[in-house]
Amino acid sequence: MKKLIAVALIAIAGYWAWTSPTAGAWIYANATDAEASFYGLEQQTVDIGELKMEAYVGGPEDKPAIVMIHGFSSDKDVWPRFSKHFVEDYRVVIPDLAGHGDTGYQAEWDYSAPAQATRVALLLDKLGIENVHVIGNSMGGFITAWFARLYPERTITAAPVDPAGLDFPVLSTMHQMIEKGKNPFFVHNQEEFELFYGLTMEKPPFLPPSVIAATGEMYIERREELRHIEGSFYHHDWLTEELQHIQTPTLVMWGSGDQILHASAGPVWESKLPNGKLHVFEGIGHMPMVEIPAETAQVYRAFIEAQ
């Protein structure tokens, strides 16, 4: 009888962990940090003056540095499975940008791409890092380009991944939805979040339903904050006239199946950048570094080591 009760309790606990948003939030908060730690990344709180930034930091201090910048509504936890391919040979820095992750949100902060790039530079100053390879996804790709524009002497290479920052020759699924008055980032219920989540990746990694549900709850709770952040950077400080001034060697990477930001902008980036090249991942969505981290890392490593 005692064994039967124990099995029943384990089954109930397992079901709760599998389905409960509360359990999912705990799993996400703790499992992601544990995984990052397993790869050699340590979470640090860095006071940059205006605010305190949270970041994963790892790798040898005497090696070249790579800073990895997440996208809008995301956080530093999208990078560890990609970063594990570099942490033995590079100093790796993965911040939570202002308004995101553990760094938090304040209404009075400036969320424009140049302001976020400046905060990344201040973070690197505090960590004693002068020159850096910069890679960023989506809004993070937009910020990556602005970092290279504002700090060319500090930028060894730049790598925008499915970046925002230009108008798109072809409208993505997301942009078509926005034209009809519905931005999928601004979620009101779990059904809307599942629709949004389906747009983000063509080959998403496995996540328990509880973690997906918990993430949906976060989007619902943060809807107005996200609306404010998006209004501060989207279609502001666009790079149309700026890319021609970025001399940094730049690799633009894009998933051919991106439903958030259409891959048709890739050749535009390549044509406008004086030292730009484009790599397209076939059948991949908006987040190659999450969908195919090893392959994306291989392409990226070949690029930075060729410079």
CA 119 distance to own-chain centroid: 16
pTM (predicted TM-score): 0.93
Please tell me the total count of domains within the chain: 1
Strands 65-69, 91-95: pairing is: parallel
pLDDT value of position 9: 29
SS3 175: helix
For 239-295, write each residue's pLDDT tens digit.
Answer: 999 999 999 999 999 999 999 999 999 999 999 999 999 999 999 999 999 999 999
How does residue 24 score in pLDDT terms, banded at 50, 70 and 90?
low
Rounded Cα distance, 157 and 8, in Å = 55
Rounded Cα distance, 105 and 230, in Å = 13
Q: Domain residues for 299?
A: 2-305
For the chain, what's the residue count? 307
pLDDT value of position 7: 32
Q: Where residue 47 sits, what CATH number does that domain have?
A: 3.40.50.1820
For 146-190, write each residue's pLDDT tens digit.
Answer: 999 999 999 999 999 999 999 999 999 999 999 999 999 999 999
